[in-house]
Amino acid sequence: MDGCIRRSVVRAEHGRAASHAVADAGATAVTVPVDVDGSRLPASVAWVVDDCPTARAAQTRTLEAAGIVVSWCASASAFLERYDPDQPGCVLAAIEAPLVHGLDLLARLGGADAPLPVVLTTRHPQFETAVQAFRAGAADVLVTPFGLETARVRLQPLIDRDRARRTARAGRAAILARLALLTARERMVLDGLLEGCTSKEIACGLAISTRTVESHRANLLEKLDAGSTGRALHMVLLATRGGGLRTP
């Protein structure tokens, strides 16, 4: 098959070729690959978990003054029954509160792998406690009562990052769901496009006509709702973190 680029050789050039293909198509201007954005997620909320009514009220007033939606619970068990792990936001859990035991709650939520950022609060700050909290996976440690500036500078960014992380994850999931709709041959064509191959080169490598390749390309663009080849490549590279598709 003279004139054909063998797939094994093209794969060695995958990263560079795919990057050039995306750039040439102008796909770098695409910032949201699919119709998934933060507005589709539930409203972000800061959970205040403290068994002291005075402390809860003070934190709630400060957070609401900073424009943060607040829910509260008087115990860890009540929080675990009420909270939705799919809802963005953060948790403020009191370390010393007998009904909360912030460090224990952090561990029950998964530590650093908790579904949402866990901020431990304390009325009696100690260096050793802070070190223990961060080692256990706490996103931050705050001394209560805290002021409006703390809520805006330290808590709001945590909530915003959590929402952005969930939005990105939802976007990747949407792309992968669309990729699952492709036929085996459409995946092969997309794989070739990711490797930087032209339609003629893909056709030669798959022993099919260029017209058939173009037909598969049109079908996969429609299934991905991409609109253009460059956008499709950008979507796939985002969803697979730069890796190509595995084809049968």
pTM higher than 0.85 for the full model?
no
Instruction: Give pLDDT tens digits for 221-235.
Output: 999 999 899 999 999
pLDDT at 130 over 60: yes
Instruction: Give pLDDT tens digits for 165-218.
Output: 999 898 899 999 999 999 999 999 999 999 999 999 999 999 999 999 999 999
> How many angstroms separate the CA atoms of 130 and 219, rounded?
55
Query: Quick one: pLDDT at residue 39?
Result: 52
Q: Where are the alpha helices (DSSP H) in 46-147?
A: 53-65, 76-82, 102-109, 127-135
The CA–CA distances, whole Å, from 68 to 56, 106, 146 equal 14, 22, 14
Give all strands (DSSP E) within the chain, no chain letters: 45-49, 70-73, 89-94, 118-122, 140-143
